[in-house]
Amino acid sequence: MKINNVILRTVAKLVSFIILTLAVYLFLSGHHSPGGGFIGGLVLASAFVLLFIVYDIETIRTALPFDFKKVAAFGALLSVGTGFGALLFGEEFLSQTFDYFDLPFFGETELATVMLFEAGVALAVVGVVVTIILSISEDV
């Protein structure tokens, strides 16, 4: 007998959208106020964990065919790569630069190289947290 959890699935879709929006906000506000890649990655991973709990793990794996171990490795590589990118321009390891760009819909926006580093941290955190949760779920 299958349990009818239509309300749970409907609420989970809405809540996961809110969690994803919060994760993007925390990620983007990171270099000016508290937040950044680590907390943004944790919040993003919590959205994935919510989806894994509400839906079947195999259903989510078919919808999101990511190997989260590779996501974590790519995030770590991206973070370290930004440090070596600074060395290519004769700067110290992990030094950053920024400039202002006129973007459509956003106007004048500051873009910094630290966002690449934070993106790597976020991907590494998401990959590690989801991998840990999936390996715990396999044991249960």
Mean pLDDT, the chain, whole residue set: 88
Higher pLDDT, 30 or 137: 137
Cβ-contact 60, 52 below 8 angstroms = yes
Res. 1: pLDDT tops 50:
no
Q: Give the predicted TM-score (pTM) of the model.
A: 0.86
Cβ-contact 12, 50 below 8 angstroms = yes
CA-based nearest residue to 81, from 92, 70, 94: 94
Read off the pLDDT of each residue in 3-11 and give the average, rounded to a whole number.
83
Query: For the chain, what is the radius of gyration of the CA atoms?
Result: 18
Span 30-78, pLDDT tens digits: 767 777 889 999 999 999 999 988 888 888 888 888 899 999 999 999 9
Q: How far is CA 104 from CA 14, 32, 97, 108, 112, in A?
A: 28, 22, 22, 9, 18
